[in-house]
């Protein structure tokens, strides 16, 4: 009687066994399937920060291709098409000029209110675009996230690069418009300062996109809160007023001055309208805020990397 603990042997089990055909047929063959018994890896798992950055760099061609395919597409489906890239900021400026300049008379005592308003409205829109488009970014991209394994922050990078390209025309309109309404002053070399300000603005916006994307991914109601927050920022960032209106309220003046968006707008106006470069303190302030918000937003987004696959 055979031992019940002894398993039957098959061809190839023993060290001296040769591969033999089964069933006595000389033509039969044995298909050998090799299985990797190494450790399993979780799909969409969060990698460490260094490897994550390496993977992000490897996807740079995908990011740039996505940016080019979607840039300057805001007018798609309309009769005027790409003309809306120029018309949209002009119409917004016209409405705000009518309301704040002619109806509310905020323009009193200002030499170039329209130039002041153009820079304020257009450059403030760069910040709000980061918050509003960052909301529901994960939900809008869930088909891509579920189909491919890639650093999800690529979506935020692609979005801010797209905005960087789309906002070039409105930024040029703001600068040219502000100079046109004070043509007698001429153009100063300080106008080149608008270039680093424009870049820092979108670096700041990248951090806002990351914060808004993660927060709204797991708490969709945050998009409504972001809309209210944008409106509050509009009235507290000096978009259409100068800070000297609060000379009798020093605490309120200090609060507005601490607002980094206010400092960005004033730095842009100083370069374009005043013909001088902002002070070193202002450059340090807006640069520090931009780098801090971008890094903090990136890390905040990265920490939930493996959870985005479950967002519906």
> What are the structural domain ranges in the chain?
86-92+110-310
Q: What is the pLDDT of residue 7?
A: 47
Q: Which residues of the chain have pLDDT under 70?
A: 1-31, 33-46, 74-81, 109, 247
SS (H, E, C) 172-226: HHHHHHHHHCCHHHCCCHHHHHHHHHHHHHHHHHHHHHHHHHHHHHHCCCHHHHH
Closest CA to 133 of 158, 150, 113: 158
Query: What pLDDT digit, counting tens, does each position of 140-158 carry?
Result: 888 888 888 889 999 999 9
Q: What is the pLDDT of residue 84?
A: 80
Check: pTM over 0.85? Answer yes or no: no
Task: Measure the CA–CA gap between 7 and 65, rounded to whole angstroms.
Answer: 58
Task: Measure the CA–CA gap between 308 and 312, rounded to whole angstroms.
Answer: 9
**Total H helices, total E strands in the chain:** 13, 0
C-alpha distances out from residue 82 to 75, 79, 86, Å = 5, 9, 8
| Encoded tokens for 109 | 């005592």
């Amino acid at each position: 009687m055979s031992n019940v603990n002894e398993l039957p042997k098959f061809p190839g089990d023993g060290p001296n066994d040769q591969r033999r055909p089964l069933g006595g047929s000389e033509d039969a063959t044995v298909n050998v399937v090799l299985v990797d018994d190494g450790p399993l890896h979780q799909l969409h798992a969060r990698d460490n920060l260094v490897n994550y950055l390496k993977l992000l760099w490897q996807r740079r061609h995908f990011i740039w291709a996505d940016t080019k395919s979607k840039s300057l597409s805001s007018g798609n489906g309309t009769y005027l098409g790409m003309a809306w890239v120029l018309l949209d900021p002009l119409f917004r400026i016209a409405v705000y000029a009518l309301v704040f300049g002619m109806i509310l008379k905020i323009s009193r005592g200002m030499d170039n209110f329209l130039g002041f308003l153009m820079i304020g409205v257009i450059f403030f829109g760069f910040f709000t675009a980061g918050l509003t488009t960052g909301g529901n970014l994960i939900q809008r991209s869930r088909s891509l996230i579920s189909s491919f394994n890639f650093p999800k922050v690529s979506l935020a990078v692609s979005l801010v690069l797209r905005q960087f390209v789309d906002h070039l025309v409105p930024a040029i309109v703001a600068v040219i418009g502000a100079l046109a309404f004070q043509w007698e002053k001429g153009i100063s070399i300080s106008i080149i300062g608008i270039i680093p300000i424009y870049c820092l603005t979108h670096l700041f916006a990248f951090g806002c996109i990351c914060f808004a994307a993660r927060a709204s991914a797991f708490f969709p109601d945050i998009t409504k809160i972001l809309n209210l927050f944008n409106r509050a920022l509009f009235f507290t960032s000096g978009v259409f007023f100068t800070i000297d209106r609060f000379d009798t309220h020093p605490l309120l003046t200090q609060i507005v001055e601490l607002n980094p968006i206010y400092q960005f707008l004033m730095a842009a106006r100083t370069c374009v309208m005043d013909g001088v470069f902002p002070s070193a303190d202002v450059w340090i302030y807006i640069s520090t805020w931009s780098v801090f918000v971008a890094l903090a937003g990136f890390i905040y987004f990265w920490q939930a990397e493996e959870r985005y696959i479950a967002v519906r």
